[in-house]
Structure 1
Amino acid sequence: MADNFEDWQAYHYDPSMAAAAIFIVLYGIITGLHTYHLFRTRTWFFIPMVLGAFFEFIGFIGRAISASETPDWTLGPYIMQSVLLLIAPALFAASIYMYLGRIIMLVRGEKFSIIRVGWMTKIFVAGDVLSFLMQSSGAGILVTDSQGMGENIIVGGLFVQIIFFGFFVICSFIFQRRITSNSTALGIASTTPWKKHLWALYGSSILILIRSIFRVIEYLQGYDGYLLRNEAFIYVFDALLMWLGLVIFVVVHPSEVNCLLGRGRVMTTKGGLSITEAAVCSEESV
């Protein structure tokens, strides 16, 4: 960030209206689908994920407004896109943390987790909240005359996110390895479609990790860094990755796990859930 706030400018390039419009459409569609499935299936633990999708959608509206203002950018649209696109993945992470606990309970694999399921969600969500607060407060400071402090807080929040998410992926992998090496547990797990949900969780987690690492490098390079001077990077390593993460959870929707736990309705009877299991879910959801 510029050392003198008076010398600061919103962008080192002319924001692309076409790119912003494309992702407004993409996020509009995916956010609409997730919102519909959220209420239809009552998968309430996915509320943070859906809120994050709305943040992405509104953030790209902010970028489109900035593109229309070039080169006389105003602060409002810049703050809108800067803050919302930065903190949205932290909301994605909150739902993903709760997702793993439900997968573990589905296969009755609590004893194979290195952290008690009851504590797992609390620990990881607490870390996620800390990361969210640090990034959002840092983003707010970023547009004041204390840009250096804002950048440091954001980087700290991103590091917190990476550390907790990295440990979360390790916990997931250890759980999978333990349960697949135990024939009795594997026999119980084989009656449920847990593997595809765990792979969906891995896929989305890796996407968020890549995006967070990109953001750390971006802010460490500073306001005059190569990444912040080239708009393509934010679309390739942030916008696209987060959209793909949302797509994963449309294809493999967590409502199936939630339903088999008797906590909601299943989105579809395809993809591994039998008609009998779907009927049981339906009865338990009434």
Structure 2
Amino acid sequence: MIWKRSWLMLWLIIGIILEVTAFFQNSAGNGVQSVQVIIAPIFIAASVYVSFSGLLKNLEIDKIGFNRKAQSFLFIVGDIASFGLQVAGVVLQMIEDNKSLGQGLIITGFIIQIVSFCCFIALVISGHRTINTTVIQATMQGYYCWKSYFKALYVIAVLFFIRNVFRLIEYGQGYGKYIFNHAVFAYIFDAAPMLIVCAILVLVHPGFVYARVQKFMSESKGFPEGSAGR
């Protein structure tokens, strides 16, 4: 992150810290653990949204449907709304008289998260098609090319979908029920997918992808390396 000045990865780091502390803090109590596990993927998703916007910027694509800056803003706002609902729901579920309200808020938060991510994937698909129609970008090859990052985004989308549907089913079943009381489900359908997502974002790091794209764009236009878009 520091080497490539890709500060957007701070969101990923925050998400990883929350995930790790959540799954290794069993003695802290189920309530605290639940809050951390629920909100961690929201930060990880934010890094994905912002990195996609950054990729479009480096590919000199100003909009797909609407302005790319507005796209990131709307998705992050959706995540913030989901974050607020889920945290409030977990807190209310810890209060005996408000379990049903808390459950409803958490489920609503997960639905917002799923819908938001589905919209994001539709945008990624649209962006993929748009970039493929441009001659310069379509010829780009290599491990850190934009094509590699789009492949990574599709895999990440599937993993996020699995995780969010699992949590939706878990809280739909109810606080303290079978899935909630068996940690193996959380490790398989939450911890594992998020671990793979983080690994993908490190292996296909946006900072390296941006640098490769900038170099390619500069060479394609006959500019000195690093001068594209200035």
1:21-60 matches, within 5 Å, as 38-60=1-23
Change in Cα spacing, 1:229 to 1:58, as seen in structure 2 (3 Å) is closer
Q: Deviations over 1:150-208 (max 9, x none)?
A: 1111111111000000010011011212332x2xx142343471111111122112211
Match of 2:149? 197
Alpha-carbon shift at residue 128 of structure 1 (Å): 1.0
Contact 2:103 2:175 (C-alpha < 8 Å) held by counterparts: no
Are positions 1:125 and 2:88 aligned together? no
Change in Cα spacing, 1:233 to 1:174, as seen in structure 2 (3 Å) is same
Are positions 1:141 and 2:92 aligned together? yes
Match of 1:89? 41
Are positions 1:223 and 2:172 aligned together? no
Aligned residue pairs total 219
Aligned partners of 2:176 and 2:23: how far apart in 1?
22
> Aligned partner of 1:196: which letter?
S
Contact 2:146 2:213 (C-alpha < 8 Å) held by counterparts: no
| Residue of 196, 206, 225 corresponding to 2:158 | 206
Contact 1:107 1:189 (C-alpha < 8 Å) held by counterparts: no
Alpha-carbon shift at residue 223 of structure 1 (Å): 2.7
Aligned partners of 2:212 and 2:76: how far apart in 1?
23
> Aligned partner of 1:249: which letter?
L
Contact 2:131 2:137 (C-alpha < 8 Å) held by counterparts: no
Alpha-carbon shift at residue 79 of structure 1 (Å): 2.3
Structure 2 spans left out of the alignment, 5+ residues: none
Q: Deviations over 1:68-112 (max 9, x none)?
A: xxxxxxxx432221110111001111111111111212222335x
Change in Cα spacing, 1:97 to 1:245, as seen in structure 2 (3 Å) is same
Match of 2:67? 116
Q: Deviations over 1:111-134 (max 9, x none)?
A: 5x1232121111111111111111
TM-score by length of 2: 0.86
Are positions 1:162 and 2:111 aligned together? no
TM-score by length of 1: 0.70
Change in Cα spacing, 1:190 to 1:102, as seen in structure 2 (3 Å) is farther
Based on CA coordinates, which of the two structures has the bigger radius of gyration?
Answer: 1
Change in Cα spacing, 1:106 to 1:190, as seen in structure 2 (3 Å) is farther
Alpha-carbon shift at residue 261 of structure 1 (Å): 7.4
Are positions 1:257 and 2:220 aligned together? no
Contact 2:93 2:175 (C-alpha < 8 Å) held by counterparts: no
Q: Deviations over 1:200-241 (max 9, x none)?
A: 122112211110011001111113543224321111000111
> Percent same amino acid among aligned pairs?
28
The 4+ residue runs of structure 1 with deviation greater than 4 A are none
Aligned partners of 1:80 and 1:40: how far apart in 2?
34
Alpha-carbon shift at residue 143 of structure 1 (Å): 1.1
Aligned partners of 2:87 and 2:4: how far apart in 1?
31
Are positions 1:188 and 2:140 aligned together? no
Contact 1:131 1:161 (C-alpha < 8 Å) held by counterparts: yes
Contact 1:62 1:78 (C-alpha < 8 Å) held by counterparts: no
* Cα RMSD for the two superposed structures: 2.5
